Amino acid sequence: MTFVMGPALLFCPADRPERFPKAAQRADAVIVDLEDAVAPADKQRARGAILAQLGAAGEGPELDPSRTIIRINPAGTDEFERDLHCLAHTPYRTVMLAKAESAAQLEALADYHVIALCETAVGVLNAPAIAAAPNVVALMWAPRTSWLPSAVRPAERTTAATAPWRCTHGPRCCSPPGLSGKKPWTPCTSTSRTLTGWLWRQPMPQRQDSAPRPASIPRRRP
């Protein structure tokens, strides 16, 4: 499958239907968010807003299905099942799966084109298998801060710490740091390199060329 929407994608909270038309005017495709952009108490109302904008029989929906992506809640949650029940009554067949972590999670979305949003260490490590799923049309990454140790659950941290370095462009393309973190990292020269577990083993980089700041001296008042 090929992802043809874009290049400009705009997120819009699903519980703010008054923003749907403006979002559709400003972007090539709209991502209607049922996950983080909607408070837990408002999720059912958000799903109702998606159904309400479909219009009566014979009328087209406000949001064109060919330019609309529905971001759904993580697989295995009750909200995920409710999202699928809602989408079954709509013409929308492109979804963004939040916190995708394995190819098995995509089996429940066999009837949809899926953009897998990798937001955890496990999801990034399993990205090749996720990308190989037949219904996946694209991958999307969370900000790098979501992958640092403070945001990684213990089970994920163990998996990441034992993960080997992998690069799709061969061993000469990039070199990983040692487990001790003393070996400098040589970055991959390609933007499509496979992300791996070394990131969670390493501390945040520190600048070596910056001199220590002098102690502040209180000023005397005249």
Do 73 and 137 belong to one domain?
A: yes
Do 60 and 5 belong to one domain?
A: yes
Asked if 175 contacts 185 with a C-beta cutoff of 8 angstroms, the reply is yes
Do 152 and 128 belong to one domain?
A: no
Residue type present at position 112: Y
Spatial separation of the C-alpha atoms in residues 109 and 207, rounded to whole Å: 45
Buried b (16+ CB within 10 A) or exposed e, 33-53: bbbebbeeebbeebbebbeee
Quick: pLDDT tens for 98-156. Answer: 999 999 999 999 999 999 999 888 998 999 999 999 999 999 987 654 444 444 444 44
- pTM, whole model, 2 decimals? 0.66
221 lies in a domain?
no
Tell me which H or E stretch contains 49.
helix 43-52
Percentage of residues in the chain having pLDDT higher than 70: 62
* Number of structural domains in the chain: 2
Residue-number span of the structural domain to which 90 is assigned: 1-142
